[in-house]
Every structure is written in C-alpha cells, then in structure tokens.
C-alpha cells in the first residue's frame, strides 16, 4: 500500500493520467466518426458516388483539385460532408461565378439529382455533416417562441433581429434569410459557411434548429404589418428617414416663404 501511495504522488502521474484521458477521448471520437461516415455512406448508392465523381471532375476540380484535396483557388472538401455541398450548390453559390470576398447567391446550375450525386461523392471522401432529415425541417413541429430566443442570442448580431441581413467586414455580409429554404437554413447552421460560426448539435440541438427555422418562417409570413420595412434595420434607419424627410419639408417650406412677394 505504501508503494502504491508513493506512485500516485509521482511527478509523472498527472502526465500519465492526462495522456490516458487523451487516448480514450481520441478513441471515442474516432469511433463516432466512423459511425457517422458509415451512416453518410449508406445514405447514397455506389452509382450516386460514381456519377458525383464525374460531375466533380467536370465542374469542381479546377478549383478544389482532382481529388478534392484543395488548391490555391479553393479549399479542400475532404470531411466537409454532404450538407456543405447541398447548401453551396443548392443555393447557387457554387460553382462561383468569380472570385470575391464571398460566394454570391445565383441561379442553381444543377438539378436535384446532380446535387445529390455531388453530395454523395464528397460524403464518400470523409465524415461530415449530413443533409438534415425531414422531421427537423417540419415547422409545424417547431416552437417559434423558443426559436426566436435562440436566434436573437446567436444570430441577430449579424443577420439582424428581423433576419434582414447586415454588413460585415472587408466586403462580406450576412445575407437576408427571407425566402431561404428550410433545408438550407439548417445546413448553414451545421456547416458555418463564409464567416458564419458552426452550430453543431452540442451547441444547438436539431430540435432547437427546427425551432429557429420555425421562427424565421413565421416572421417571413407576417410580412410588415406596421408599414414600410425601411430595411428592417430598426430605429436608426427609421430615425434617419424621419430626420431627412422632416428636414426636407422645413427647407421646402422656407423656400416657399422666401419666394412669396412681400
């Protein structure tokens, strides 16, 4: 017992425990990644992966490399998952029309089958976020009140409290979320495109993501019952409008008074 007690007080005991903890954590992570990769691969057929490979070589390899390893013109796609491809290609951001601060939304270049095939190919390269299941996109199951709270805490500082979007630094911006498909909103949360942070299931659960989508679709359906939106930028834009309009009226009235014959 005395010898065991002395070993526990050995200076290297803490280091040994730390190493053991790291090994166990790494092993659990590797096992979870393998499960996720197997699940992602099982969602697509071998023909989807094969056709996706052909589409990738014809349309994406110029920037992302022949094996999606990345180049100076585009990042590696190994491990980004099917959700990333479905979002970027499904919103028309990819293929990019030209280099710039961030990819712009434009008409989609591929049909749904081709997008699925590209997603299948990229998913086969490494584990990553999968395309969300339909149950997490059904806004009839969501709680808009809770979703609004989550949105205001995590998203409103960039996207605006009314989800109207806003400017960021160096020519980048947080886009408006009006009219964005439910699936693409969910995918954006799990992949973190552009300057957006990643909100994985540990940060915001799938159910909470559904609540956020429910909130966004609710305010989109409400429109602007109070009148003109003025960009939905809040009291600053509204105050500027009133100030400018009021000042214009005062100037016009002054000109009219001074132009009258005495």
Residues that constitute the known binding site for heme c:
60, 63-64, 155, 158-159
| DSSP secondary structure, 208-253, as one string | HHHHHHHHHHHHHHH--TTS--GGG--HHHHHHHHHHHHHHHHHHH
Report the C-alpha gap between 179 and 221 in whole angstroms. 10
CB contact burial 47-63 (16+ within 10 A = b; e otherwise): ebbebbbebbeebbbeb
Residues in binding site: 60, 63-64, 155, 158-159
Instruction: Specify whether the CB–CB gap between 82 and 119 falls below 8 A.
Output: yes
* Enclosing H/E stretch for 144: helix 144-154
Report yes or no: 182 and 120 within 8 Å, Cβ to Cβ: no
Task: For Cα atoms 129, 208, 202, give the angle at the middle one, nearest 5 degrees.
Answer: 50
CA distance 115 to 227: 40
d(CA 211, CA 137): 9
What DSSP element (H or E) covers 155?
none
Please say whether the beta carbons of 41 and 124 come within 8 A.
yes
- Give CA–CA dist 129/188, Å, rounded: 10
Helix (H) or strand (E) holding 174: strand 173-174
């Amino acid at each position: 017992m005395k010898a065991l007690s002395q070993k526990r007080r050995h200076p290297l005991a803490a280091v040994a425990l730390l190493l053991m903890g790291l090994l166990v954590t790494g092993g659990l992570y590797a096992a979870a990644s393998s499960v996720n990769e197997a699940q992602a691969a099982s969602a697509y057929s071998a023909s989807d992966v094969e056709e996706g490979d052909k589409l990738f070589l014809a349309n994406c390899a110029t920037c992302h490399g022949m094996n999606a390893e990345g180049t100076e013109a585009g990042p590696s796609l190994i491990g980004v998952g099917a959700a990333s491809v479905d979002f970027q290609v499904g919103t028309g951001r990819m293929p990019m029309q030209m280099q710039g601060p961030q990819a712009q939304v434009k008409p989609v270049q591929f049909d749904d089958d081709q997008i699925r095939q590209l997603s299948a190919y990229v998913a086969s390269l490494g584990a990553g976020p999968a395309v969300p299941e339909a149950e997490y996109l059904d806004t009839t199951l969501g709680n808009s009140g809770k979703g609004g709270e989550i949105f205001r805490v995590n998203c409103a500082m960039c996207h605006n409290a009314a989800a109207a979007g806003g400017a960021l630094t160096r020519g980048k911006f947080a886009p408006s979320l009006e009219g964005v498909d439910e699936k693409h909103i969910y995918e954006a949360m799990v992949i973190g495109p552009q300057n957006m942070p990643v909100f994985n299931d540990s940060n915001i659960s799938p159910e909470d993501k559904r609540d956020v989508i429910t909130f966004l679709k609710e305010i989109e359906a409400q429109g602007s019952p109070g009148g003109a939106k003025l960009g939905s930028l809040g009291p600053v834009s509204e105050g500027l409008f009133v100030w400018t309009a009021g000042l214009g009226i005062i100037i016009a009235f002054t000109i009219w008074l001074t132009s009258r014959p005495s």
